[in-house]
Amino acid sequence: MKDYYKILGLDPTISKEEIKKTYRKLSKLYHPDRGGDENKFKEISEAYNTLSDERKRQDYDNRRNNPFGGMEGGNPFTNDDPFDMLNRMFNRGQNRGHKRPQRGEDLSVTIPITVEDIYHGYTKKIKYSRQIICGACDGGGGDWNKCISCGGAGRKRHMTGNGFFQQVVEVSCKACKGQGKTPINLCPPCMGRGRVEKKEIFNFTTPKDARPGQHLTYPGFGNQIKNGVPGNLMVGIEIAAESLFTLEGDDLIYVAEITPLDIILGKKLYIDRFGTELTFELKPLFDTHKRYILRSKGLGGMYNKGNLIVELKVIPPTTLDEKSLKSLQEINDKILDKKTNQ
C-alpha cells in the first residue's frame, strides 16, 4: 500500500487545510505543462484525492495503521483444508456473512476550463460514454448453462510443488473464460456482456476553489454493474489556452504585451478582471523583468484573497518605414550625446 503521507511529505496528523496547501504547491512544481514529472504528478494527485476526502482518509488510515485488523482470531493453520486456510488469510477486512458489493469501473475525463469559469462558478456540460445495465436482458446477457468444467465457479484450484512445499494455485477456467457459465442464447443488444454503451451528459459546476491538476470525484456516474454499485466519474481540471489569466495558487497571472517604445515612454495598462476594468500605470523606463503586483485582486475568499501579478512581454516591431527609423535614430543619438556630456 502506498504511503500517501510520505508522497506529500506530511505528518499523518496534518490538517485538511495543510494538505490542500501542500498539494497546490507540489502540483505546480510537478505539473507536466510546467516541465514537471508526469508520474510524480499523478502520484501526488492520487494521494491528495484520498487524503482530502474525510471518509476516504479515515478508511486509508485504518488500513495503514492496522492492515490485519479484519483477520479473525485463532490460528489459521489449524484447518486441514488448504483452501479454507487461504480464504481466512486473505479475506481480511470483511465481516462474516457480509461481502462488500462489487463496484463498476471508474471513469476519468479531463476538461479545459478558464480562470473565468472558476471565478463565476460556471456550469459546463461534459459528454462521455459509460456502460449501463442492458435493459433487454436486465444485465443477464441471455440464457446460460452452468459451466461443467468449473462447476460455475469460474476458476479452478490445484496444488503445485513437491512433497516438502506445496502451493495452491487458482486459475481462470478456460472452458467458460472465467464466467462460470456457457451460453445458450446470447442477448442481441449486448451480445452476452450484460451491459451496453450509453452517451451521457454530466453537468459540471466549476468549484470556486478548483485549481489545475485537481481531480474531483462524483460517485455513481461511472460504469454500472449487475448486483453492484456504479463506479465513479473522476473529472480532472486543466486551464484552457484561451484563458486571459493563468493561476499560481490563488494568484492571477496576467501577461501584458509591450513595445520597446513603451519602455521609454511608459504605458497605462487596462486589465479586464472578470468584467471589472483595472488600470495600472507603468512609469517611463520601467523594469521589464519585474513582476508588478495588484494586491488582493486574485482569487480566494473575503479574508484570504490572492494577488493579481502582471508580467511583461516585449513585442519587437516587425516592420518600420525609413521615416520612423530616422526619427528613432535621432532620439538614440541624443541619448548617447547626453551620456557623453555627463
CATH number at residue 215: 2.60.260.20
For 302-313, what is the mean pLDDT?
A: 88
**Total number of domains in the chain:** 3
User: pLDDT of 282-306, one tens digit each?
Assistant: 999 999 999 999 999 999 876 778 9
How many CA atoms are closer than 13 Å to the CA of 237, on its beta-carbon side? 24
Asked if residue 256 and residue 146 are part of one domain, the reply reads no
For 127-150, what is the mean pLDDT?
A: 92
Does some domain include residue 112?
yes
Q: Give the whole-angstrom CA distance, residue 306 versus residue 249.
A: 8
Does some domain include residue 221?
yes
Choose between 292 and 161: higher pLDDT: 292
Closest CA to 32 of 22, 47, 24, 42: 42
Does some domain include residue 323?
yes
Asked if residue 310 and residue 222 are part of one domain, the reply reads no
Does some domain include residue 310?
yes
Asked if residue 163 and residue 210 are part of one domain, the reply reads no
Handedness of CA 52, 54, 55, 56 (dihedral sign): positive
Q: Give the whole-angstrom CA distance, residue 269 versus residue 266.
A: 10
| Mean residue pLDDT across the chain | 83
Share of the chain above pLDDT 90, in %: 40
Asked if residue 296 and residue 229 are part of one domain, the reply reads no
Asked if residue 151 and residue 130 are part of one domain, the reply reads no
Band the pLDDT of 27: cuts 50, 70, 90: confident
Q: Give the whole-angstrom CA distance, residue 207 versus residue 37.
A: 26
User: pLDDT of 217-257, one tens digit each?
Assistant: 999 999 999 999 999 999 999 999 888 999 998 999 999 99
Taking CA atoms, 79 is separated from 57, 66, 67, 247, in Å, by 36, 25, 23, 61
Q: The domain containing residue 110 runs over which residues?
A: 101-136+191-240
Indicate the burial class of 272 (C-beta count within 10 angstroms; 0-12, 13-18, 19 or more): exposed
Q: Give the whole-angstrom CA distance, residue 11 versus residue 249.
A: 22
The H or E element spanning position 183 is strand 181-186
Does some domain include residue 277?
yes
Q: Which residues is 197 bridged to in the sheet?
A: 131
pLDDT at 75 exceeding the cut of 70: no
Does some domain include residue 224?
yes
pLDDT at 69 exceeding the cut of 60: no
Asked if residue 307 and residue 211 are part of one domain, the reply reads no
Does some domain include residue 8?
no
Does some domain include residue 255?
yes
pLDDT at 266 exceeding the cut of 90: yes
Asked if residue 179 and residue 201 are part of one domain, the reply reads no
Asked if residue 118 and residue 195 are part of one domain, the reply reads yes
Asked if residue 234 and residue 124 are part of one domain, the reply reads yes
Asked if residue 158 and residue 123 are part of one domain, the reply reads no
Q: What is the pTM of this model?
A: 0.58
Asked if residue 295 and residue 200 are part of one domain, the reply reads no
Asked if residue 261 and residue 131 are part of one domain, the reply reads no
Reading the block at residue 284, the C-alpha cell is: 517611463
pLDDT at 133 exceeding the cut of 60: yes
